[in-house]
Structure 1
Amino acid sequence: MRQVGIPHPRLPLPEAEDDLAAFLQWLEEAIPMVSAMGIREMQREEGTLIWDLSLVPNLNDKGTGFGGGLTAQTTLLGWCWVTLWLRRQGIQRDVVVAEASQRFLAPVTSDYRLVCKPVEDDAAKRLAEQLDKKGRGRISLTQQLWCGDTLCLEASGDYAVLK
């Protein structure tokens, strides 16, 4: 059981490609609310991190997606993108969200997909350069929530990698 003020042990760096199922299991232990978020699957595609989620755990009083829960998911997805990117570089560092915003475009009425990627194509390269020069860095990511072909939510966040 997690205790306030006690950091959760870091997941060891992978010897090869990260096992996303093992990472998700660790994430559920490290951040207890993750197990209630409805994440069914985590996958990677060419610099993009994707979650498939169930709507049921995130229902609001109107029977659609709860904005606060969806916001937490977009923020955490960005954190995961940076953490997994660092792991592929062989780096163990703390990641924090520095700034985040959301724009709700349509109600979330069914199971959905969250997609996260850097705002700019060369953002990961610039983050690597910042880490080499300063030992810390920052990256801007964008998250989109899709119900089928409908874009329901756009979010963005700046994530800081600490020394």
Structure 2
Amino acid sequence: MTPTDSSLELQKFLHEKIPLSRAMGVQVVAVNDTELTLCAPLEPNHNHLGTAFGGSLSALATLAGYTFLWIALGDRDAHIVIRDSTISYQKPVRGELRATCLAPDPKKLAKFLKIFHQKGKSRIKLTVLIEENGETAVTLTGTYVALR
């Protein structure tokens, strides 16, 4: 897959503003209305067993949610933080790390955006999946907050 200009611009933004993303080798793979996918190579993100390090999986999943919300929000003066999250590691990742943030229900996203524009603060729950060979290896559910 050839990266688009917009995905390369987004990747550059992540590498500049969140240096860990550069160290991990994060790349923007897909951006559309239903999901956002980031990937990272196994090599700089492996543990002593040769599988993906749990901290790298967590960081990539958290970053996928952050990036999805940053795009959906469209307000470049807003600050996005993760308030809380739960992560479940169902199986080891032995290859490329690939995290996909699924778009929330359109009504919930619209409500989030409306509250943000009215009050300058809003929160929303997002789900991020890390899959390998068509099977879910990691699930992160996080509450993200946008602040003006």
Does TM-score exceed 0.5, indicating one fold?
Answer: yes
Tell me what 2:112 maps to. Answer: 127
1:51 corresponds to 2:51: no
Alpha-carbon distance in 2 for matches of 1:101, 1:56: 25
1:91 CA displacement: 5.1
Instruction: Give deviations 1:101-152, integer Å, cap 9, x for gaps.
Output: 1000001011132110244342211111211332211111000001121210
> Which deviates further from its counterpart, 33-42 or 103-112?
33-42
Maintained 8 Å contact 1:123/1:140: no
Q: Which has the larger radius of gyration?
A: 1
Maintained 8 Å contact 1:98/1:160: yes
Maintained 8 Å contact 1:38/1:56: no
Tell me what 1:112 maps to. Answer: 97
Question: Which of residues 48, 62, 66 is equivalent to 1:61?
Answer: 48
State the SS of the aligned residue for 2:66. helix
Question: Which of residues 126, 144, 147 is equivalent to 2:129?
Answer: 144
Q: Provide structure 1 residue ranges, at least 5 long, that are not aligned to the other structure.
A: 1-17
1:22 corresponds to 2:9: yes
1:27 CA displacement: 1.4
Q: Provide structure 2 residue ranges, at least 5 long, that are not aligned to the other structure.
A: none
Alpha-carbon distance in 2 for matches of 1:145, 1:63: 17
Runs ≥4 residues deviating over 3 A: 118-121
Maintained 8 Å contact 2:52/2:97: no
Please report the RMSD computed on the Cα atoms of aligned residues, expressed in angstroms. 1.7
AA of the residue aligned to 1:25: K
| Alpha carbons of structure 1 residues 45 and 146: separation in structure 2 relative to 1, 3 Å | same
> Which deviates further from its counterpart, 119-128 or 51-60?
119-128
Tell me what 1:79 maps to. Answer: 66
Alpha-carbon distance in 2 for matches of 1:134, 1:25: 30
1:38 CA displacement: 2.6
AA of the residue aligned to 2:43: V
Give me the identity figure in percent.
26
State the SS of the aligned residue for 1:78. helix
Higher helix share: 2
- Equivalenced residues, count: 144
